[in-house]
Structures are given as C-alpha cells and as structure tokens.
Chain A
Amino acid sequence: MRTIQNLLEPLQAKLHSGCTDAAIPEYAFGSDLMSDVLTLEEEAPMLITGLANTQSIRTAEMADIEVVLIARGKEVTEAMIDLAKENDIILISSPFSLYKICGILFQNGLKPLY
C-alpha cells in the first residue's frame, strides 16, 4: 500500500499533523474556494489549496476530508495545526505551486473527481 510518506519526497513536503503511514486518498481536488469544496458529493478527496487559514481545515472537517495539502509554501499557522490534530486531519505543505502539485499527484495515480 502506498502511503502519505511516498508523497513527501516528490512534493518536497513537510508534515505538520497526522501520520505518514496513512493510505493515500484515491482522489484529489484543488481549490482556494472553500464553497466549491463544500459542494463535493463524491468520496472525500485529498484537498490541495493555497488558502492557508483555519477555514481550510474547518472545511476539510465538515466535508470528511482526511488530508489537506497547503501549496505555494504558505505559512501553516499553529491554529491550523491544532485544529488539524483535534480532527485527525493529516496536514502537509509543499513549496510548489498548486499546478505543479496537481501534476505530481496525477503522476502518482491520484484521480480527479470530475
């Protein structure tokens, strides 16, 4: 089974919360608009976003999303990390752009929702 650990190196990503032994979600969805994330009906994807504030974590909580990836090297705040830990959300960040991250995840087999 491929795990979050397998994604950290290609994304040059840092883990802020959660366990890298968790399975990689089957799907991914990239958006800075949380209203868009809240309209998703399919299986909960990995969320890739440039929105680095607590609302991205709250949105993940409400939408049953288990992995949040913050793009573009945005600062991940203590409040975001605390909220992610409280809700068992894996929180990682990457210095790459949302576009590049999506490309890497697509190459690694994560599927789009639409």
Chain B
Amino acid sequence: METLKLKYSLKDGDFSNAGNASSNIKKNLKMLGINAAVIKKMVVSIYEAEVNMIAHANGGVIEVFIDEEKIKAILADVGPGIPDIDQAMKKGYTTASEEVRQMGFGAGMGLPNIKKNSDDLKIESVVGEGTTLTITSYYKS
C-alpha cells in the first residue's frame, strides 16, 4: 500500500472546531479497515494533542502518514514551547486556562495519556519557537 498522507491546519484558540482534524483522521483510518482498537488509541492521542495545540500553542499543522505497517502523526505548533518536558509528562501538571477547563480538559493528563496510547512518542520543543510531537503506532506488529 502506498503511504497515505493527510494534512490539517489548526487556528489558535479555535475551540469550536477542536477535534475536527481528529474526526477526519478517524474516518480515514476506518475506511482503510485498520483494527478498531488501534484506531481508538491513535485518535485519542491525536485528539489530546489537537486540543493542546489549539489551547496552548497558537494552532499549528497536523500531518498523518499511513503505510502498511504504521500510522505516524506529526503535530507541529509555533507556540511558546515546553520549558521542562519531564515536568509536562507528569500527571496533574498543567498550565491550562479557565477556557480550556470549560472544554473538559486542562487537568494535566494529556501528554501522559498520549504516551500511554502510542507505541512511540517523540517530543521536540524549543522555548519561544514551538513544539513538535511525533506519535507512532505500529499496527501490524
């Protein structure tokens, strides 16, 4: 199977559309006939990251690459960056605004949940420049 590529641009603070990209990605993965449990773990990770990008990071770009053995999502923002990634990975650590909490998020559970649901998670962040998450699921393994 050829690599399928999906690409989405997110606007900063566009809470009403948070989840649109994840929803479209889920529909594409279902059409490809990928196992439902694999899809759930992947889209939960991408959705958590999508909410983060809209809530904290001035929006950004989500790219998803699907080939015959893996799904790889690259989520790149131009936000403030994460000064201490180890701290951000701790359950309960949060810098969320009241607006984010009103959406049902912002409890410091996002990044740990992304890690739990992915086979591989890479976080690259430069303060003042932005953060890129690379989430991979090896669905044929």
Contacts and interface: CB of A to CB of B under 8 A. Distances in A.
Interface in A40-68: 49, 51, 53-56, 58-59, 61-64
Given A34-B103, A35-B110, A39-B113, A54 B16 contact: yes
A82 interface: no
A36 interface: yes
A59 to B, nearest CB: 7
B139 interface: no
Contacts of B110: 35
A63 B104 contact: no
B40 A62 contact: yes
- Top 4 nearest A-B pairs by Cβ distance? A34-B104, A58-B19, A35-B109, A51-B104
Contact of A55 (B43, B104, B116): B104
In terms of DSSP, what is the predominant structure of the interface of chain B?
helix
Interface of B: 16, 18-19, 22-23, 26, 36, 40, 43-44, 47-48, 51, 102-107, 109-110, 113, 116
A33 B116 CA distance: 18
Nearest to A58: B19
Given A33-B107, A55-B18, 4 more contacts: A34-B104, A38-B47, A55-B51, A62-B22
Interface of A: 32-36, 38-39, 49, 51, 53-56, 58-59, 61-64, 79, 87
A4 B23 CA distance: 26
B105 A55 contact: yes
Contacts of A62: 19, 22-23, 26, 40, 43-44, 47
Contacts of B16: 54, 79
A113 B103 CA distance: 23
A34 B105 contact: yes
A32 B22 contact: no
B26 A35 contact: no
6 contacts: A34-B104, A36-B109, A49-B104, A51-B104, A55-B51, A79-B16
B109 A64 contact: no
B40 A35 contact: no
B48 A38 contact: yes
A35 B107 contact: yes
B113 A58 contact: no
A39 B26 contact: no
A7 B43 CA distance: 30
